[in-house]
Amino acid sequence: MAKLSLFERRRRRVRTALRARAGGKPRLSVHRTGRHIYAQIIDDAAGRTVAAASTLGVKVSGANVDAAVVVGKAIAEAAKQAGVTTVVFDRGGFLFHGRVKALADAAREGGLEF
């Protein structure tokens, strides 16, 4: 078996801890790249995406903290429309800092609980 990168090890560790705590709640998954930031709410029991938002669908330039705040508010709004109020936050292998933290804080302000 090939040696896993630090990112992949962190991602697996986070996902394992989430499974233990989730209790059937949907998962707010975050992914970021150099150009964009993506968020989706996933119902793992049904295996489908309930709501999604990203900088692709929003008129924001760049993938900075301001863009993450816009996406966080958008995912909270999409979750409300889908009838989701409580989620578990899946940061993947990303550190809870900068854009990921800004997205999470904006989603909380938008009404999501986690």
Nearest one of 38, 36, 20 to 28, comparing CA atoms? 38
Give the global pTM.
0.92
Q: Do 112 and 87 meet the contact criterion of CB atoms below 8 Å apart?
A: yes
Task: Summarize pLDDT for 44-86 with one digit per residue, the tens.
Answer: 999 999 999 999 977 777 789 999 999 999 999 999 999 999 9
Q: Report the share of the chain in percent with pLDDT over 90.
A: 86
Confirm or reject CATH 3.30.420.100 for domain 6-12+23-109, answering yes or no. Answer: yes
Residue spans per domain, the chain: 6-12+23-109
Given this model, what pLDDT does residue 9 score?
96
- Per the structure block, which two tokens stand in for 111? 């009404």
